[in-house]
Amino acid sequence: MRCAIIGSGNIGTDLMVKMLRSDVLDLVALVGIDPDSDGLARARKNGIQAPHTGPDWVLENASDIDMIFDATSAYVHVRHYKQYAAAGITAIDLTPAARGPKVIPPVNLYEHLDAPNVNLVTCGGQATTPMVYAIRRVIDELPYAEMISTVASKSAGPGTRQNIDEFTKTTSTALREIGGATKSKAIMVLNPAEPPIMMRNTVFAGIPEGADHAAILNSIHEMAGEVSKYVPGYRLKNEPVIEEGPFHTPGGVVPHRAVVLLEVEGAGDYLPEYAGNLDIMTAAAMRVGEAIAISRASREATA
Amino acid sequence: MTTPDFRLIDSTLRDGSHAISHQYNPEEVIAIVKGLDHAGVQVIEIAHGDGLGGSSFNYGFSKVDEKELIAQACAATTNAKIACLLLPGIGLADDLRDVKELGVGMARIATHCTEADISEQHIKTSKSLGMETIGFMMMAHMNSPEGLVEEALKMQSYGADAIYFADSAGAMTTEDVRRRVNALVNALDVPVGVHAHNNLSMAVANSIAAYEEGATNLDGTSAGLGAGAGNCPTEILAAVSDKYGITTGVNVLALMDVAEEIVRPLMPRQQVIDRAGLILGYAGVYGSFLLHSQRAAERYNVSQAEILLELGRRKVVGGQEDMIIDVALDLAKKHAEAEKK
């Protein structure tokens, strides 16, 4: 499948490094707006086209492109997503624009393989929604779930900083829509420590009376294994625990809460290992892109 | 009446909320607002201790919805302006719109002292709503005077009407405060304020030093009720200011009455500098970690002091309360392994 990445910043460049290793996705171009950007220079060095005319280049060359990965910003995506669809290009959206259905690979990867546009939520959403889902699938009801994502200051670009409300709102929505929580909250913290800290995510989930605690803990471990298949640096930093309350959550009083402490070490493809927040996004994008490509190829083969 | 030399902002109903695990009820709010307003306090801040939207597993759930309490405060005040605090990443711009509707006249937008650029969206929203807007830099001991100036200039450029720094860990000496206030006063066009904590028993002295260097806004809480070893006690700051001949515009005796008759009776523990409180200041750890670390220490049977020292080593910042559980589990694991040997 012929692919273009739009956006030559940290995410786009990291995604390029991953895509160059893929047997399924064929990278045609890394598209930027600044001819002097480090990302475009790296693309040229790897023999990949590196135009700097942004989304326009993609639309002009639409007949040579099947799928784009949008690593620009929410507002650029909103401006162009209809044009990509009209040109017959499938869009995998790495911004928090949230125009297409949200995809968290270990939860709903196969539900939206035919959608013209899928959204990857946020880095924190990719890290924590699977755990909320893992808890929800072994209990009858999950009245309230909460996530706290702490990333190194160095790995949070200007887009994230100016739109921190979009990050928390989109993430919180994913905890409900895909994770299955009735109510939710998302919190984001930046930590400037040197050397930079690894991306940390914590999930708190309100556990109602009568829940099978052993099943919850097993499900969490299983899910950690699922995610680490495509994000090798994803791990439980400590054993998950179930703490005794009671806790007066917005979803009602619960006797216990589950605490899942996660760490995401980046693969170091472009930014160093601390930037697990970038890595989990680009790894999710690869997982989704490859699944779409394989599904379409097998359909064409049988047609 | 003579014009006060500095503006006193009382945060009993916001920072004080940490010390009572966010359990304020409407009656307490009304009594405190009326008492402070009667004493002549110009600004009264109210919100969850971690700011608007802070009610959570991570920071503790509010007993009563903060917006209901804010509405009560707005109804109870006659002269004092009601203020709210918001930390981008925890609260939303939508929260600012809600509290403006309730009658709030000031928003303080708080970030870690190196991350001012996450406040742009919220400072601009607050300004566009017509609220007085203060940029508030937390954990200021973790940044140099020059670094703070750089961050403060960003907040000023977004439209902040004044800039505060908070010694959130109560870790500063008087000299630390003087150098930072001096640098800010010289570099900024807007007024400067200081929010002090008492972990090293320096809160009042540091506030007076800040005033001497040109700060014209100072924070306190009644009876020092607040995160960690507590805040700069409003009534003591006013009394000491009188001794220095600094005009506060507040009635010192009326403030003592509020502290003694309204606030002390609702305190679960008196605001003292015990070992844990002192360690916070000594290790430079965020004050509101105090009660959370105490609970984690009891739950996992580990030392609270060890938890706090390790958090200091990891350079955690305000908002990372989840790391308390992480550290407690690490310590418990370490102890279990040591026992096996």
Alpha-carbon distance of B226 to B197, in angstroms, equals: 8
For residue B129, what are the contacts with CB-CB under 8 A and spacing of at least 6?
Answer: B96, B97, B100
The mean pLDDT of A45-55, rounded to a whole number, is 96
**B303-333 burial code (b ≥16 CB/10 A, e <16):** ebebbbbbbbebbbbbbbbbbbbbbbbbbbe
Instruction: Flag if B56 and A247 touch (Cβ within 8 Å).
Output: no
CA geometry: angle at A246 spanning A145 and A141, to 5°? 40
Residue linked to tokens 């309100």: A206
**Is the per-residue pLDDT at A303 higher than 80?**
no
Pick from B53, B117, B329: CB nearest A241: B329
- Residue A148 is nearest to which of B58, B299, B315, comparing CB atoms? B58
User: Is pLDDT at A167 greater than 60 in this prediction?
Assistant: yes
Alpha-carbon distance values, A85 to A33, A80, A90, A117, A146 (Å): 21, 9, 6, 8, 34
Asked whether the CA dihedral B303, B305, B309, B314 is positive or negative, the reply is positive
Confidence at residue A86, expressed as pLDDT on a 0 to 100 scale = 96
Q: Does residue B163 carry a pLDDT above 80?
A: yes
Q: Give the Cα separation of B169 and B200 in Å (integer).
A: 9
CB–CB contact A187 B319 (8 Å): yes
Q: Band of the pLDDT at A114, cuts 50, 70, 90?
A: very high
- Which residues of B fall within a CB distance of 8 Å from A151? none
Confidence of residue A162 (pLDDT cuts 50, 70, 90): confident
- Domain extent listing, chain B: 7-266, 288-340
What is the reported pLDDT for A196? 93
Least confident of A156-160, B107-111, B199-203: A156-160
Q: In chain A, where are the structural domains located?
A: 2-120+282-302, 123-275
pLDDT tier at B1, thresholds 50, 70, 90: low
- pLDDT (0 to 100) of residue A74: 85
Helix (H) or strand (E) holding A191: strand A183-191
- Contact call for A162 and B121, based on CB within 8 A: yes
Judged by a CB distance cut-off of 8 A, whether residue B98 touches chain A is no
Q: Convert the pLDDT of each residue in A209-225 to its tens digit.
A: 999 999 999 999 999 99
Cβ burial A156-181 (10 Å sphere, 16+ → b, else e): beebbbebbbbbbbbbbbbbbbbbbb
- Check if B89 contacts A (Cβ < 8 Å): yes
For residue A162, the chain B residues in CB contact (below 8 A) are 117-118, 120-121
Residue A191: what residue type? N
At the topology level of CATH, where does A123-275 sit? Dihydrodipicolinate Reductase; domain 2 (3.30.360)
Q: Which of A191, A233, A164, B320 is nearest to A172 (CA)?
A: A164
Structure tokens at B198: 């008492």
What is the reported pLDDT for A73? 86
Q: Which of A132, A175, A190, A274 to mutate to test the interface with B (most CBs of B within 10 A)?
A: A190
pLDDT at B119: 97
Write the pLDDT tens digit of every residue in B24-60.
999 999 999 999 999 999 999 999 999 999 999 999 9
Nearest Cβ partner for B92 among A168, A237, A250: A168
Strand order across the A2-6 sheet: A26-31, A2-6, A67-70, A90-93, A117-119
**Pairwise CB contact (< 8 Å): B317 & A185:** no
Of A176-185, A263-272, B318-327, which gets the smallest average pLDDT? A263-272
Three-state secondary structure call for residue B10: strand
**B231 beta partners:** B197
CB atoms within 10 A of CB B153: 17
CB contact under 8 A, A165 and B315: no
CATH code: domain A2-120+282-302 is 3.40.50.720
Q: What is the mean pLDDT of residues B112-123?
A: 97
Q: What is the pLDDT of residue B315?
A: 92
Can you list the pairs that A265-271 forms with residues at least 24 positions away whose Cβ atoms lie under 8 Å? Answer: A265/A198, A265/A199, A265/A233, A265/A235, A266/A199, A266/A233, A267/A18, A267/A232, A267/A233, A269/A14, A269/A17, A269/A18, A270/A10, A270/A13, A270/A14, A270/A16, A270/A17, A271/A10, A271/A14, A271/A155
CA-based nearest residue in chain A for residue B114:
A192
Of all residues in chain A, what percent carry a pLDDT higher than 90?
Answer: 88
Residues above pLDDT 90, as percent of chain B:
96
Average pLDDT, rounded, for chain B:
96
Q: Which residues of B touch A164 (CB under 8 A)?
A: 88-89, 118, 121
pLDDT, one tens digit per residue, over A221-249 is 999 999 999 999 999 999 999 999 999 99
Q: Is A113 on the interface with B (CB under 8 A)?
A: no
Tell me the catalytic residues of A: 123
Q: Is A248 on the interface with B (CB under 8 A)?
A: yes
The pLDDT score that the predictor gives to residue A82 is 97
Residue-wise pLDDT for B195-207, tens only, equals 999 999 999 999 9
In this predicted structure, the answer to whether residue B245 has a pLDDT above a threshold of 90 is: yes
The CATH superfamily assigned to B7-266 is Aldolase class I (3.20.20.70)
Q: What one-character-per-residue DSSP string does B232-257 give?
A: -BHHHHHHHHHHHT----S-HHHHHH
B288-340 belongs to which CATH class?
mainly alpha
B159: left (phi over 0), alpha (psi -120 to 50) or beta: left
Res B113: pLDDT:
98
